[in-house]
Amino acid sequence: MKKLILLIFIAHFGLAQNFKTVKDTAALRLKVEQMSKTVNSIESDFTQEKNLSLLSEKILSKGHFVFKKENLLRWEYSTPYKYLIVINKDKIWIKDEKKTAKYDMNSNKVFKEINDIMISCVQGNIFKSGKFKVAYFENEKYYKLELTPLQKNMKESLKKINMYFDKSVTSVSKLDMIEPNDDYTTLEFINKKLNGTVANNIFTVK
């Protein structure tokens, strides 16, 4: 279950080449920290591409994503199947076409860990958690933060997270999740809207 939800939540193995090491990492960290403070909501479409070594074809999905401070998150898959994940502070709902399940974050360490990682990724402050070794890279289009897990239990299901920011560092553009066997899932945010009005009622599931 943990591996499955991580695959759903976190995404995109970075295939972009020609990255070089960032010389002024302190300045980049400051930009990311400022972004995480000023972005109060994000609404975006997304495309997801899952690459598994056992399958010759990639698994493609599309959907809509909404984030709002503090700790409100909605992932809604529309194609090729309907799947919904909603986080509302200490509650998480997972809904497919057949059933809805609700979990208490405080009583489930797995979901709490996943929640913390995902919220931190979206806000751009995951490198402050102390759970990852961070390396900083850039090319003409992106800054890339490469995060390698330091905790043993996390290493069992996660080899690396890559976070991609546009060069103006307005928000996260792409996220990477690479498994220990190098299977990976690709998620890219498109048609983003920052700091718009987001109703709280979309973060509940009935």
Q: Which residue has the tokens 């057949």?
A: 98
The three-state DSSP-derived secondary structure of 118-184 is HHHHHHCCHHHCCCEEEEEEECCCEEEEEEEECCHHHHCCCCEEEEEEECCCCCEEEEEEECCCCCE
Average pLDDT on 83-99 reads 89
The answer on pLDDT for 14 being more than 50 is no
Can you list the domains of the chain with their CATH numbers? 2-203 (2.50.20.10)
Q: For residues 145 and 143, give the distance between their C-alpha atoms in angstroms, rounded to a whole number.
A: 7
Confidence bin at 15 (pLDDT 50/70/90): very low
Higher pLDDT, 36 or 108: 36
pTM of the predicted model as reported, rounded to 2 decimal places = 0.79
Confidence bin at 27 (pLDDT 50/70/90): very high
User: Is 75 in contact with 92 (CB distance < 8 Å)?
Assistant: no
Higher pLDDT, 14 or 61: 61
Choose the weakest-confidence range: 24-38, 100-114, 150-164: 100-114
CA dihedral 127, 171, 136, 174 (to 10 degrees): 100
Average pLDDT, the chain: 83
The answer on pLDDT for 87 being more than 80 is yes
123 burial (CB, 10 Å; 0-12 / 13-18 / 19+) is: buried
What pLDDT score was predicted for residue 61? Answer: 92
Q: Please state the separation of Cα 130 from the chain's center in Å.
A: 17
The answer on pLDDT for 36 being more than 80 is yes
Identity (one letter) of the amino acid at 186? T
The answer on pLDDT for 77 being more than 90 is yes
Q: For residues 163 and 177, give the distance between their C-alpha atoms in angstroms, rounded to a whole number.
A: 9
Q: For residues 171 and 188, give the distance between their C-alpha atoms in angstroms, rounded to a whole number.
A: 12
Query: What letter does residue 89 receive in the DSSP assignment?
Result: T
User: Is 9 in contact with 75 (CB distance < 8 Å)?
Assistant: yes
Q: Which residues contact 81 (CB under 8 A, 6 or more apart)?
A: 61, 96, 97
Average pLDDT on 163-171 reads 88
Average pLDDT on 97-119 reads 77
Average pLDDT on 29-36 reads 86
Confidence bin at 111 (pLDDT 50/70/90): low
List, as one string, the DSSP characters of 24-80.
-HHHHHHHHHHHHHH--EEEEEEEEEEE-TT-SS-EEEEEEEEEETTTEEEEEEEES
What pLDDT score was predicted for residue 11? Answer: 39
Average pLDDT on 168-186 reads 86
Q: Would you say how long the chain is, in residues?
A: 206
Higher pLDDT, 96 or 105: 96
